[in-house]
Amino acid sequence: MAELLQYLTSGLAVGMVYALVALGFVLIWKSSSVANLALGQLVLLSSWFTYGMLVQAKFPAWLGFPLVVLFALALGWIIERFILRPLIAQPILSLITVTLGVAYFIEGVVSFIWPWSVAALPRLFPTEPIRFAGAVVSQEYLWVTFISLVVFGLLTIFFKYHKMGIAMRATADDQLAVQACGIPVTVIFSRSWMFACVVAAVGGVLISSIGGITYGLVETGLKAFSVVILGGLDSFLGAIIAGPIIGLAESLGGGYLTPLTWAGVKDIIPFIIIIIVMLIKPYGLFGETRIERI
């Protein structure tokens, strides 16, 4: 029983980490239907930038973190302005592939500036784990959970009530109609990339406070894809719910199924669940179902 509780808590905690990264992915998809393959690299780059600010330049946190946010905003603006804007109205797969180019480019920049390629951020959170009813969870994960909920809340409110947010949703729905209404689509895209980079930066800082800054962050970013697709590509709620589902699947599967099968089964279970869910709900759990007409 204590074990079950432990599996549940740690599964939920890890799931929120995935959810946080996934939110950044949804942001871009929601406004421009572009799958951002450079997500992992954005996480990596902003983690290194944080390292540069806090450890190398020795800025205090109150100065360092706002600089990181500014950097992320600038990064998002640059990527959109110079790489994605020229491709507006081109085949969507070309836009997706161009983010692959961005991914390689960022990787190169990172190994150019930080060639020693492994580092640790200063400890951001207290280390003493929290215990309740026999289960243990580290404070790092709790903070991640808290922050992803905050980000989720902000994004939801923004998309629901703010003018820009509504315009973003409209853009996702029909670019042509939005343009006809006089909403500048390019500004919308630019903003959504800037926000997405900030979310990636927040995710990056939190994840690298758990496991240090390594290339592995890229693949943690990739894991967000499965979360997003399970939740529905255009749904924040989907991301915030699918994250814990994947986390729980890993944790419970790893806990109970590993003795029965080969080791490492926990990395497969989420995918099996996703395939089954997709067969029942082809647009993910909360994704918008597109009604198709001929």
Partner 1 sequence: MKRKKILVLAVVCLALLLVVLPFASACAAKGPKPGQELKIGMMTPTTGPAAEKGSPMGHANLDAMEYVNTELGGAGGYPIKVLWYDSGYDAAKVATFVKRFIDEGALLFTVASSAEMSWAMELANRAEFPGLASFTAPSLYRPPKHIYGQMPDYGDDWTAFANYYMKNVWKGTGRPKMALELLNNPTGYGARDAAKAMADKLGIDIISTDEHTATTISEMDALTRIKAAKPDVLYISSTPKPTAVILKNARDLGLLTGTTIGLGHAGITKALVDIAGVDVVEGVYGVFPTVNWDDNVPGMAKMTEYVKKLHPNDYGNMDYITSWAQSLIVAEILKNAVKNVGYDKLAKGGVEAYQAIETQGIQKLNYDVAGLHGPAIYTQGDNRLSKSVRVFQIRKGVITPVTNWLEAPMIKYEDFPWFGK
Partner 2 sequence: MGLPSGTRNYTYAQDMAILRTRTHWALFIGFLVLLFGAPLYLSGYWLGVANLIGITLIAATGLNLLVGYCGQLSIGHAGFIAVGAYTTAIFTNRLELPFLVGLIGAGVVAGIVGLIFGIPSVRVKGFYLAITTIAAQFIIIWVINHWSSVTGGFVGIKVPYASIGPLVFRSESSQFYLIFTIAVICTFFAKNLARTRVGRAFIAVRDNDLAAEVMGINLFYYKLLAFFIGCFMAGIAGALLAHWVGFMNAEHFSLTESILYIGMIIIGGLGTTLGPILGVVVIRLLQQVLTIQLVPFLEESLPLPSGFATGVTPMLFGLAIILFLILEPRGLAHRWMLFKSAYRLWPFSY
Residues that bind partner 1 (CB under 8 A): 3, 6-7, 10-11, 13-14, 17, 107-108, 111, 115-120, 123, 127, 129, 136-138, 141, 207, 210-212, 214-220, 223, 250-255, 258-259, 263-264, 266-267
The site partner of 93 among partner 2, partner 1, none (C-beta below 5 to 8 Å per kind) is partner 2
The site partner of 17 among partner 1, partner 2, none (C-beta below 5 to 8 Å per kind) is partner 1
The site partner of 35 among partner 1, partner 2, none (C-beta below 5 to 8 Å per kind) is partner 2
Residues forming the site for partner 2 (CB under 8 A) = 35, 37, 83, 86-87, 90-91, 93-94, 96-98, 100-113, 115, 219, 222, 225-226, 229-230, 233, 262-265, 267-268, 271-272, 274-275, 278-279, 282-284, 287, 292-294
CA–chain centroid gap for 153, Å, is 15
With respect to partner 2, which residue has the nearer C-beta, 110 or 206? 110
Where do the H-state alpha helices sit in the chain?
Answer: 2-32, 39-51, 61-78, 92-113, 139-161, 163-173, 175-180, 185-211, 216-231, 236-252, 269-280
The site partner of 106 among partner 2, partner 1, none (C-beta below 5 to 8 Å per kind) is partner 2
CB of 251 to partner 2, least distance (A): 17
CB of 14 to partner 1, least distance (A): 4
Q: How far apart are the first and last CA of the chain?
A: 54
The site partner of 284 among partner 2, partner 1, none (C-beta below 5 to 8 Å per kind) is partner 2
With respect to partner 1, which residue has the nearer C-beta, 212 or 288? 212
Neighbours of 35 (CB within 10 A): 20
- d(C-alpha 186, C-alpha 147), whole Å: 29
In eight-state DSSP terms, residue 235 is: -
Q: Are 228 and 36 in contact (CB under 8 A)?
A: no
Dig out the tokens for 194 from the structure: 């800037």
- d(C-alpha 78, C-alpha 76), whole Å: 5
With respect to partner 1, which residue has the nearer C-beta, 42 or 167? 42
Nearest to 207 by CA among 197, 195, 219: 219
**Please, which residues have CB within 8 angstroms of residue 160's CB and are 6 or more apart in sequence?**
166
The site partner of 120 among partner 1, partner 2, none (C-beta below 5 to 8 Å per kind) is partner 1
With respect to partner 1, which residue has the nearer C-beta, 28 or 106? 106
The site partner of 94 among partner 1, partner 2, none (C-beta below 5 to 8 Å per kind) is partner 2
Nearest to 172 by CA among 102, 225, 164, 18: 164
With respect to partner 1, which residue has the nearer C-beta, 187 or 272? 272
- d(C-alpha 274, C-alpha 250), whole Å: 12
